[in-house]
Amino acid sequence: MRKLKNSELIRKSNIEFKLSKKTPLIIILDNIRSLNNIGSVFRAADAFLIEKIFLCGITAKPPNKDIRKTALGSTESVEWEYQNNCTDVIKKLKKNNVQIYAIEQTTNSTFLEDFYPNPNLKYAFVLGNEINGVSQELISLINKSIEIPQFGTKHSLNISVASGIVMWDFISKFQKL
């Protein structure tokens, strides 16, 4: 066994990525403070052919050198849009029949292992601020949430880790449908 060289990996060009059929999943980042977290979400979104990222509130947007450090060029491949108000994004997506889930611990959370996407629907996952999570205002609009089970002493995962977990879970289940 040997490690593969980058030149041996079959990867899409940015043009091929843009023309590819995307995973029917939109990621919404609301009030994310860490530029490294934002870049990491872009990189995972590229890896899993995610349709689009919405950057909302105080979430920084490309071009930004600190986002670029972790995104490694994925801000050029993944479609993204900045909107000041996350509420407006959610309302617009709901009007277009997008199924919107907060990635959050709520009274009616569905554990990640129990969530199965419908192949005929499009989804959006909302990830919130590193300290406060998804705001109650947004939770009230969404009415569906997915919780990543945790077994240690901490109450949450870093947003870059949580986003990677839910994107991988979604695409792995979606591809089997």
Residue 115's identity, in one-letter code, is F
Summarize the confidence of residues 67-87 as an average pLDDT.
97
CATH number at residue 94: 3.40.1280.10
pLDDT computed for residue 96 by the predictor: 97
Q: Is 6 among the domain residues?
A: no
Q: Is 93 among the domain residues?
A: yes
- Digit-coded pLDDT (tens) for 20-67: 999 999 999 999 999 999 999 999 999 999 999 999 999 999 999 999
Reported confidence tier of residue 72, pLDDT bands at 50, 70, 90: very high
Tell me the residue range of the domain where 64 lies: 13-175
Tally Cβ neighbours within 10 Å of residue 73.
12
pTM of the model: 0.96
Number of domains present in the structure of the chain: 1
- Digit-coded pLDDT (tens) for 96-145: 999 999 999 999 999 999 999 999 999 999 999 999 999 999 999 998 99
